Structure 1
Amino acid sequence: MNINPSTMKSLYDGFNTSFNKGLSSATSHWLKIAMKVSSSHAAENYGWLEDTPGIREWLGDRIIHDLSGAQYRIKNRTFEETVSVPRENIEDDTYGIFGPRLEKLGFDVAQFPDSLVFDLIKDGTVTKCFDGQYFFDTDHVGFDEQGDQVAASNYVAGAGPKWYLFDCSQPLKPMIYQERRPFDFTSKTAPNDDNVFFQNKYIYGTDGRCNAGYGLWQLAYCSGATLNEASYEAARTAMATLRRPSGKPLSIMATHMVVPPALEGVARRLISSTLISGGESNIWANSVELIVTAHVA
C-alpha cells in the first residue's frame, strides 16, 4: 500500500468498522441490573437514593420529604486500551490480520461495564453504599408495619459460593453505571506523531470515563447458604417483606438471579426445570431470569 493521507483514512475507516462490529456483537448483562446515569462532573452524589414513604392520601398540607443531603459519591475513572500496527504491515498490505484485533477492542468496550458492575457486586459484603452500611449487610435500617425502625438484612453468610437475587423491575435499580464520557475509537497515524517517527508504528485505541456504584440495597440480596429450594424461598421472602418508613410494603419481587459458573447447574435445576424429583411441578420454574458470570466467582 502506498501510504498517504487518503489510504490512511481508508485504513482508519476499515479498522473503525471492525471496532464497531465488535462493539455490537458482544453479549453483556449489566443493563439488566444497573441504571445508566449520565455524569457531567468529576463525581456525582447519590444521597437522594434514600427512600421516601410513598403515596399517601392528601389530608391537610402536603408532607414534604426532603431528598437526603447524605454523601454517597461515585467518582469517575478513566480507562483505555491501545494497540499498535507496524508500518511494514501496512506497506506490505498485510494489515488485514489486525482487523480481528480491532474487532476485539470493540468487544472489550461492550463488555467492560459488566466487569465494573459485577466486580462491585462481588465486593458488596465489604464495600459501603449510600446508607453507610455494606451493600450486603445484616443491619441496614428497615421498618416494621407501624413504621418503627428495625434491623433489616439483605445478606446471609455461608461457606459456599455466593449467589444473588435482584429486583430489576423498578425505575431505580440495584446497581449504577455512571458514564462521564463514552468510549470512542481514536488513532495516532500522522507522519510526525512520535510513535510513527520514532517507533515506526501506527497506534489505535479507545478510552472513556465511567464508574459503577450501588443503587438501592433493598433491591438486592446476597447469600452464601447452600442454593436450594428452602434458601431461595427464604431470600425471596426477605426481599418481599421489606417496608417503607410509612410501614407499607416496598413491593419488591426478585426478577433476576446472578450466580458464578460453579452454581450454574444447581441454579438451572432450581429455576429452569419445570419438573423436580418424583415428577412434581417445580413452583419456582421461570420465577427469575438467570445470569451466569465469572465476575462474581
Structure 2
Amino acid sequence: MAAITPASLRLLWTGAKKQFNAGYEAMAAKSFYKDVCTVVTSEDEKETYDWLGDAPEMREWIGSRVVKDIKSHGYEITNVEFESTIAVKARDIKNDRLGTYNPRFRRLGESAARKPDQMVRDLIVNGDSQLCYDGQNFFDTDHPVAANHDGTGAITTVSNMTDGAGQPWYLLDLNSVLRPFIFQEREKVELVGKEDAKQSDHVFMNNEYLYGADAYWAAGYGFWQMAHMSKAALTGDNFDAAYEAMMGVKGDGGRELGMMPTHIMVGRSNRSSANKVIKAMLGDGGATNTNYDEVKVIVNPWLP
C-alpha cells in the first residue's frame, strides 16, 4: 500500500483538473445558452438593467440634437452560487485506484457546462408565469406600449404569445448583439480542492479529500419583443401567423422594431413537426413549402 505524499496529491489534482476540463469543454461546445442570451459579466451581487426599454433610433440631423430619455425599469437579476463536490477516499489513493475517479471528474465538468442551459431552459419554460422588465410575464398577451417615444401617453397592449393546447414552441430573433434572455456571470466555473492532510480538518476527521466545482451565475429575461411563444399546433399556417405577429411588434411611439425571427426552438414533442414545416422542401401533396429554410431549427432536449 502506497503512502499519501505531496507528489501523489499533485498527481491526483492534475488528473482531476484534466478530466474536469475535458468534460467541461466537450459539453460547453454543445451548449445553446450563448446563442439565445446576452452574456453579461457581473461586477456585484446583482445587476440592474434599467436600459431594458425603447432605445432611440437614428434620425436625420437637422438643427440641434434631440435628446431622448430612456425610461428606467429597475429590472434586477441577483447572482446565485452553485457547487458540486466529489470526495476521494484516502484508501483509494493508497491503493492506486485514482483511475476509477476519472469518469466522475469528467462528469463533474459536463454537469458544470450543462448548468447554464438548464437555467435558461427554466426561463423559457416558465416565461408565461415570470415577470420581465415591464412588469408583465415575459410571454404575455398585454405588454404595455406607450403612445410616445419617451414612454408617456396612452397605453396599448402587445402580445408575444399564441395560446393553445399543445406543447409550446418558440420563435426567436437572434440577429442582434442583444438577445431575448440574459445570462449573468459573476465568477466563471472553477474546480477547487481541499487536500492538505496536515491542515484540513475534513481530511483528518473523514480520511477523504474534497474536490468541487463552484460558480456564481444568474439568468433572467431580456427583450420580450425578440421572442414569441406558441402553444398552437406546429403547422405551416400557425408558423406563418406567429412569424407575422412577431414582425409586426412595435415599440413606444409606434416605432417599427424590425423584428425578424431567425430561429425556432422546439422540444422533443415538436421536433418532427418543426422539421416538416421548416426543413422539408415539399409540403403535403408535393406542393412547394414556402417556409422551407425560413429559420433555423433548434431542438432543445431540455424542453418538453
Letter in 2 for 1:126: S
**1:231-264 CA-partner distances (Å, limit 9, x unpaired):** 1111110111112334342111111111121111
Q: Does 1:203 align with 2:210?
A: yes
Cα distance in 1 between the residues matched to 2:58 and 2:284: 45
CA-to-partner distance for each residue in 1:200-247, whole Å, 9 max, x for gaps? 111110111110000100000011111111111111101111123343
- Map of 1:2-151 to 2, 5 A cutoff? 2-26=3-27, 27-142=30-145, 149-151=155-157
2:196 corresponds, among 184, 190, 203, to: 190
- Partners of 1:23 and 1:106 within 8 A in 2: yes
When residues 233 and 145 of structure 1 are mapped into structure 2, their CA distance, relative to the original with a 3 A threshold, is farther
Tell whether 2:164 aligns with 1:158.
yes
Q: Residue 178 of structure 2 aligns to which amino acid in structure 1?
A: L
Distance 1:164 1:111 in 2: 21
Residues 144 and 67 of structure 1, relative CA distance in 2, 3 Å threshold = closer
Gaps of 5+ in 1: none
Report how far residue 182 of structure 1 moved: 0.9
4+ runs deviating over 3 angstroms: 142-149
Q: Higher mean Cα deviation, 5-14 or 30-39? A: 5-14
Q: CA RMSD in A?
A: 1.8
**Whole-angstrom distance in 2 between the partners of 1:148 and 1:238:** 22
Equivalent residue of 2:10, what SS? helix
CA-to-partner distance for each residue in 1:109-138, whole Å, 9 max, x for gaps?
Answer: 111110111111111101000011110011
Match of 2:272 among 252, 256, 265: 265
Quick one: distance in 1 between partners of 2:36 and 2:300? 13
2:54–2:71: 8 Å Cα contact kept in structure 1? no
Equivalent residue number for residue 290 of structure 1: 297
Structure 2: gaps of 5 or more residues? none
The separation in 1 between residues aligned to 2:45 and 2:148, in whole angstroms, is 41
Aligned to 2:105, what secondary structure does the other structure show?
helix
Segment of structure 1 superposing worse, 243-252 or 253-262 = 243-252
Q: Does 1:231 align with 2:234?
A: no
Q: Please give the TM-score of this superposition, normalised by the length of structure 2.
A: 0.93
In 1, Cα distance between equivalents of 2:253 and 2:142: 19
Kindly state the Cα deviation for residue 289 of structure 1 after the two structures are TM-superposed.
Answer: 1.8
Q: What is the TM-score with the length of structure 1 in the denominator?
A: 0.95
